[in-house]
Structure 1
């Protein structure tokens, strides 16, 4: 049984699952944040299944690689392994296409957890070559006042180029308040392409999203670069307006896609980072979450 890793500093306390306590074939097992608590009273984390921790499901500020660009799956034959960054080697089961929610068999990467001090921890995932792909992946989480910074470093130690993406799913619920008209989500950046609502009662006005009602089903929408390939926003702020409690994410990368998913118990703003490294190269990117009341 592995206890949570708890970081403390300034106004913030952050609970992180040990990689060995995270399961499933989808989410990055390093730096899996389940809760952030501000000033000892304001909370921001939610579980994918309301109020239920399931090691194979999402929670809090968890991430995923290759949701849309999976490495090696198409060439692996049924019964063979393919790499899932942040997780391990997965076994392909059939001739059907890759499905990110499928419960593939997993052979996890070995991960060292290095506690640097009370406010910082480093996760070091060791490479395991597969289909010519191999990566040394490091992720450091550090509290700075009322902010949590995540720094990512992926070194390609394999024979083939790594070209994929990574995003933070961000299962967020502010102080347990139900999602609905009391919430607003604002994107930060000079360029504001149109936000396309695919499902649910989301109202998009420029760079601001609002909810016309409490969701009775999933909601989902996306923002992608326009035909000119222009820049996307590089951050967002989610606020519970009656209380003024809010959380923001600032991205240390050029965003390639933005999605927003959720239900009545959580909002998930998702900023996708391009990850590309030729053999011998290192890709780096970062995210900074600021919590305010």
Structure 2
């Protein structure tokens, strides 16, 4: 078992799983943050399963490619492999449609871990060509003062264009406080349409989402752009109003979709980044998280 990689600044301690300790066929195995602590006093992350670490499930600040736009699955025959960026090659089992939570057999990508100092780490994912798709992927995490920055760089080394997206799932809980009316989730920047609440007691206000009660089951809301080139929020701030504790994400890319999922023990604001890369081209973007009281 590999120990966690712990990044430190003057105020933050960030626990990151070694890629070999992350399993399953869904979440990006690089930069998988399971814990963030501010000033040795405040915690910001939750597990997908309340209080239980499962290497095949989500936790803290973890990401996923290809959830909305799957690469290669439809053309792979049952028994053949298809790519899952950040994870490896997955084996298609049947004629059934792709299921993002299914435990497909995985042939993991080779990943190198590079850490030059206590405040940063870089993961280098080697390409493994499949169905004409291949990507060289670097992901770097850097902590400074009360901020964590995540930088992504993808180089399309294959013969086919990459057309998909990536999002950070963000299993977030502020000091273990139960989700409910004490929380508010505000969004930065303009938006051209309103959140559509699909499940749960969520109120969509002018610039934020609020909860009318403590959730008894999953909640889910989604925001699409209102039209071609319409504005979308560029970040969010989650606040626990009684304590003043807060966490935010600022996106260094043009957001194409926002989803908010969670249960009583966590909130997951999900900002989707477009990933469109022609053969031979490079795409880079970033996310910056800030933590405060």
Alpha-carbon distance between aligned partners in 2 of 1:30 and 1:252, rounded to the nearest angstrom = 19
**1:169 alignment partner in structure 2:** 169
Contact 1:192 1:206 in 2 (8 A): no
Contact 1:192 1:207 in 2 (8 A): no
The answer on 1:33 being equivalent to 2:33 is yes
**1:155 alignment partner in structure 2:** 155
**2:105 alignment partner in structure 1:** 105
The CA deviation string for residues 196-241 of structure 1, in whole angstroms up to 9 with x for no partner, is 1000000010121100000000000001100344010000000111
The answer on 1:279 being equivalent to 2:279 is yes
**2:83 alignment partner in structure 1:** 83
**1:129 alignment partner in structure 2:** 129
SS of 1:174 mapped into structure 2: coil
Contact 2:192 2:225 in 1 (8 A): no
The CA deviation string for residues 120-146 of structure 1, in whole angstroms up to 9 with x for no partner, is 000000000000000000000000210
**1:205 alignment partner in structure 2:** 205
The CA deviation string for residues 162-186 of structure 1, in whole angstroms up to 9 with x for no partner, is 0100000000010000000000000
**1:138 alignment partner in structure 2:** 138
CA RMSD of aligned residues (A): 0.7
Alpha-carbon distance between aligned partners in 2 of 1:192 and 1:223, rounded to the nearest angstrom = 9
SS of 1:20 mapped into structure 2: helix
Q: How many residues align?
A: 293
Alpha-carbon distance between aligned partners in 2 of 1:248 and 1:116, rounded to the nearest angstrom = 27
The CA deviation string for residues 2-61 of structure 1, in whole angstroms up to 9 with x for no partner, is 100000012100000000000000000000000100000100000000000000000000
TM-score by length of structure 2 reads 0.99
TM-score by length of structure 1 reads 0.99
SS of 2:275 mapped into structure 1: strand
Alpha-carbon distance between aligned partners in 1 of 2:191 and 2:220, rounded to the nearest angstrom = 21
Contact 1:114 1:122 in 2 (8 A): yes
Alpha-carbon distance between aligned partners in 1 of 2:143 and 2:197, rounded to the nearest angstrom = 34
Alpha-carbon distance between aligned partners in 2 of 1:229 and 1:196, rounded to the nearest angstrom = 19
**2:59 alignment partner in structure 1:** 59
Could you list the runs of 5+ residues in structure 2 that have no partner in the other structure?
none
The structure 1 segments of at least 4 consecutive aligned residues displaced by more than 3 Å after TM superposition are none
Contact 1:192 1:233 in 2 (8 A): no
Offset of residue 192 of structure 1: 5.0
Offset of residue 193 of structure 1: 2.1
Alpha-carbon distance between aligned partners in 2 of 1:192 and 1:5, rounded to the nearest angstrom = 40
SS of 2:153 mapped into structure 1: strand
Alpha-carbon distance between aligned partners in 1 of 2:143 and 2:15, rounded to the nearest angstrom = 12
Contact 2:192 2:230 in 1 (8 A): no
